[in-house]
Chain A
Amino acid sequence: MNQNLIDYTLHLADTTLILAQRNSEWCGHGPILEQDIAITNISLDLIGQSRNFYQYAAALINLPITIGTANNPADLATEDSLAYLRTEREFKNLLLVEQPNVDWGQTILRQFYFSVYQLYLFQQLQNCKDEQLAAIATKALKEITYHVRWSSEWVIRLGDGTAESHQRMLAAIEELKNYTGEFFIAAGYETPMGIDFALLKQQWEEKTKAVFEEATLPYPEKTFNQSGGKTGTHTEHLGYILAEMQYLQRTYPGAEW
């Protein structure tokens, strides 16, 4: 069993799921109906990606079991057992995506930071030696390209909108500035994946600076990199997300839905 590959796949799955969960909080509460639909769409795309990763992780985990003799199907990992029955110390999502929705500006900035990172990461994953991960990444790139465009446009619109929107974007930058460094700090299980983190960082910074410039927003130079999400040490927010998300599965163990 390739534990690194499993952990890495779970990291990708958890990150996309938790961001989907956060974005979906907007459903029915967006600032304008068209954008309510747009953020919900991104949420759906991310859930789709997370399901692909969870299913793959489950297959990897089950591999030695299925080769073995008679086993109880209830012991097999599934996308839902991985999403609903792991604890806050087992989740491997980035800290950025668990940050709460302060306002539309902060949601937009969080999405922008993440989508730009995901774009360049998945471009590398496309050529990953693990065919399954490469396939999932390739499939996702089209929607990620759209997420980058949509969130960039909003960063620009809000940065270069009114005095209030500019101010709110400054607050969002302040709020999130310590949570992007984690993108580029490799966790142990990431090392064998062959990701060029230096390139990733350079591409991410270039794109972010370009969009910020158009948005008349300052790029935050002085940051401290909070990290630990990739290896299960989270901010206090994750516990609440999981408590809510996992409530039915935890309350009625073994039930089918």
Chain B
Amino acid sequence: MQLQDLEKIFQDKIDKEIKIEPKDWMPDAYRKTNIRQISQHAHSEVVGMLPEGNWISRAPSLKRKAILIAKVQDEAGHGLYLYSSAETLGTSRDEMLEQLLSGKAKYSSIFNYPTLTWADMGAVGWLVDGAAILNQVMLCRTSYGPYARAMVRICKEESFHQRQGFETLLVLSKGTDEQKAMCQDAINRWWWPSLMMFGPRDSESTNSDQSVKWKIKRKTNDELRQQFIDMIAEQVKVLGMTLPDDKLKWNEERKHYDFGEIDWDEFWAVVKGNGPCNKQRLDARKKAHADGAWVREAALAHAAKKKNRQLQKVA
């Protein structure tokens, strides 16, 4: 079959909302874009374990400790599903990890911010998982089948995380003056970085057009960001807290909230590796990987020995 025909069949499928599956023909660029996006997403889940893992040992009650551990563990599970779906495109987890550790592959910049107080556990769940969900709900309908199906599983857990985060803050918002201040401070610190999670403005974004045509991405960065702001601007009222943006205001004409300008210099600085924790996060992953090398080698060596013994028995 001619290349044009294959491309036409492929695009027809996408237009008809038929999922692309691992064995289907697909353009190289489609494969590459998906590998890049899914592996980045997987890395984000795994690196995302670190800022919240930071508070496990200090969680203020047994119930909160259990909830937090379970949450961080969910994120590890998300990483697993996503690495598996990327593997269906012909890359291996080792390759992907190598790219993360060498700094070649990116992960979500949000995890380069520090978690400074317990209230950050609430703010991260509410704002960070909340922003992630909007993106992920959209991805449940993405054109690559294994990615879309992984997203359906993940979304259920993410919305649970968001509710738990909100509830953590709600308790603080009704607590002592110190707890209320802790709550507001965490919102102040996490608000702008969470808006940055949706990426650059549409006018600045490079690979959006093709991704929309291939239905990898189904909404633009700005659309998703606006949706998030509209949602959070309402929820923050329940907490009796404020968002740190004096331009935030309901616009009756647009039926959306207007909002102030994101600090794009900060955005690019963090993307380029100069956020407050870029180094610590990557170092932590490198250390875990290096410290675990002998364990992985031993597991392989033992499995090989076992197999050999079985073969000898048979022979």
Contact = CB atoms under 8 A, between A and B. Distances in A.
A55 to B, nearest CB: 9
A129 B139 CA distance: 55
Contacts of B301: 161-162, 165
Contacts of A35: 295
A168 interface: yes
A171 B66 CA distance: 32
Contacts of A257: 60-61, 64, 118, 171-172
- Interface size class for chain B? 35 or more
Contacts of A160: 302, 305
Given A37-B76, A252-B176, A161 B69 contact: no
Interface residues of A, number: 49
16 contacts: A24-B56, A28-B288, A29-B53, A30-B292, A32-B295, A32-B296, A35-B295, A43-B69, A47-B65, A48-B66, A51-B63, A157-B299, A160-B302, A162-B297, A248-B59, A252-B179
A31 B302 CA distance: 16
Interface in A75-123: 79-80, 83-84, 103-105
A41 B66 contact: no
Given A34-B80, A80-B61, 11 more contacts: A28-B49, A28-B53, A28-B288, A37-B73, A41-B73, A84-B61, A161-B299, A162-B294, A244-B57, A248-B118, A252-B178
A47 B58 contact: no
- Identify whether the interface residues of A are mostly helix, strand, loop, or mixed: helix
A157 B300 CA distance: 9
Given A83-B62, A104-B295, A248-B60, A31 B288 contact: yes
Interface of A: 17, 21, 24-25, 27-37, 40-41, 43-44, 47-48, 50-51, 54, 79-80, 83-84, 103-105, 156-158, 160-162, 164-165, 168, 244-245, 247-249, 252, 255-257
B291 interface: yes
A33 B56 contact: no
A104 B292 contact: yes
A33 B295 contact: no
Nearest to A166: B298
B198 to A, nearest CB: 25
Interface in B42-99: 46, 49-50, 53, 56-66, 69-70, 72-73, 76-77, 79-80, 83
B294 A165 contact: yes
A40 B299 contact: no
Contacts of A157: 298-299, 302
